[in-house]
Amino acid sequence: MLKIISSKLAMIVLLVYFTGISVAIADQNMVQSNLPTMIENEITLTDQQLNLEQKIIDEQLAVEYREKEQQLVEELQRQAEQRLSEIVGDESLQFKSIVATIYAQRDYLLLWENPKFKSIFLRQYAALVASGINKKFSKILAEIDRTSENGGLLHDILLTDAFLEYVYYVDNVAKFAQKWLYFPNTYKMGSPSQHYIDDWLTAVKNNNILFFIDSLSAKNLLHEQTIQQLEKLISTEQINKATLNQIYKLAINAQRLRIIPAFNNGIFVNIPSYRLQYYRDGQLVLDSKVIVGRKERKTPVMYSKLSNVVVNPPWIPTARLINEDIVPKIKRDPDYVARHGYSILDNRGAVVDPYLIDWENIGAKFPYRIKQAPGDSALGSYKFNMPSSDAIYLHDTPNRSLFNKKNRALSSGCIRIEKSDQLATILLKEAGWSEEKKRRVLDSKKTASAMIQSDNPVYLYYVTAWADEGQIHSLPDIYGYDIMPNFNDINWAVVKKYLVDH
């Protein structure tokens, strides 16, 4: 029995021994079979490391190159500005860096050798001086005139410096018109866009400069006619306090006309005229009285486009109107809400009874919304929407008698149109509405709207004096914008020289 067990044990030991040898051999064979793959992976990893290291080196070299390149540019700019300083001496330049670059890149060649271009520019610049928008303009023109006799590079540089300012002004005046053209000393100098500089220099190089200066000119014909009357006034009248006011009104309004395109297409409202004129393809298709914002809530100078027409619009007053106009009336008489078709709504849209509001504890900010029902709202039958940061739009009004007043600065800023039905008819017809459909919707007193199908720009502008066919027209300055600045520093002989004797 013991012998048998020993024999089996021996067999087991031998089996384990040979199994271990087999496993070892198998492991060795596996390593040998995987060796090429391991070597390949190692090579790939090495290549990745080399590529990464090369990339880091390339990036470092690129950074160093850019730094050296920037240093070179800065050094060249420093040399250019130093050279410019040697030329201009004590003369003050507004755009020293830009001017230095322009002349250094062109080996200091003259840029103002075309006399007609120079004359056109200086005429426009002299008109700008007469407008009093910026006191610096008169000093700049005087320096240009002082160096004109000898001409040369200094004179050329001063012209370029002034022209860059003029280009900036022309490019930005529409954007900042409400400040620059209506409030004294609000103009802020800025650098012109590089593309304008490039276009100008290309025009000089290609001898196409007159086309370029024409692209900067105002497109409204009344602008040029007003400038011409300004010329006559300066050339024929002795300049005193009375004539200065006339000169200023023509000059500043000429600049205001600059931002208005030709009267070809669109809705034009000259705010102090209390009129709306609607042009299509150069034809006047609608001329209507309007009501504009009162002095405390001025209608802004702006440009937009009509987007849609709302028939039977509800009226949702602004927070200012609610707090300043409506709430005081409701406090005195809560029945005012029902009599005028208003609803007071909480933040969930639920109607609030005015008699249940604790009016004694209502502060400066009313915590509810107010809405006036369509059909009988303050907006009348139509609302003409357009994008506006000031929430300005055109609309009808149920108070038709107000159009009989001479002074129609009566609204809170929006434009009320006497002939709103005619305007709506034109726009709704284009949207596919028949006259019958329009009347049916109006009678329903339910709100409906239609998208504008045509291009209808809207220009709200403020011009109190202009010339047309040799006649000077003037309007009351209803907002008090025409405040004459201090003209003591202006040399009117120089202005006359370039505006009249050009």
Residues of the chain with pLDDT under 70: 1-45, 72-73, 75-76, 502
Please report the pLDDT score of residue 64 as a whole number. 73
**Active-site entry in 155, 340, 414, 473:** 414
Which one, of 267, 301, 305, lies nearest residue 287 by Cα? 267
Q: Where are the domains of the chain?
A: 103-260+464-499, 274-314+373-461
Quote the tokens at residue 274: 């209390």
* Full DSSP string of 150-171: T-HHHHHHHHHHHHHHHHHHHH
Please report the pLDDT score of residue 43 as a whole number. 62
Please report the pLDDT score of residue 305 as a whole number. 97
Look at strands 471-474 and 465-468 and give their pairing: antiparallel
Please report the pLDDT score of residue 132 as a whole number. 94
Please report the pLDDT score of residue 124 as a whole number. 96
- pTM score, two decimals? 0.82
Please report the pLDDT score of residue 33 as a whole number. 58
**Active-site entry in 155, 195, 340, 395:** 395
Task: Let me know: does 213 contact 196? Beta carbons within 8 Å.
Answer: no
Please report the pLDDT score of residue 61 as a whole number. 80
Please report the pLDDT score of residue 76 as a whole number. 65
Please report the pLDDT score of residue 42 as a whole number. 60
Quote the tokens at residue 257: 């006309």
CA 383/CA 395 separation, integer angstroms: 4
CA 290/CA 276 separation, integer angstroms: 6
Query: Which numeric CATH code is attached to 274-314+373-461?
Result: 2.40.440.10
Please report the pLDDT score of residue 502 as a whole number. 67
Strand partners, 403: none
What's the farthest any 2 CA atoms get from each other in the chain?
Answer: 149
492-499 vs 115-130: helix crossing angle, rounded to 10: 140
Task: Let me know: does 479 contact 236? Beta carbons within 8 Å.
Answer: no
CA 192/CA 166 separation, integer angstroms: 9
Task: Let me know: does 446 contact 304? Beta carbons within 8 Å.
Answer: no
Q: 């199908």: which residue's tokens?
A: 453
Mark whether 414 is an active-site residue: yes
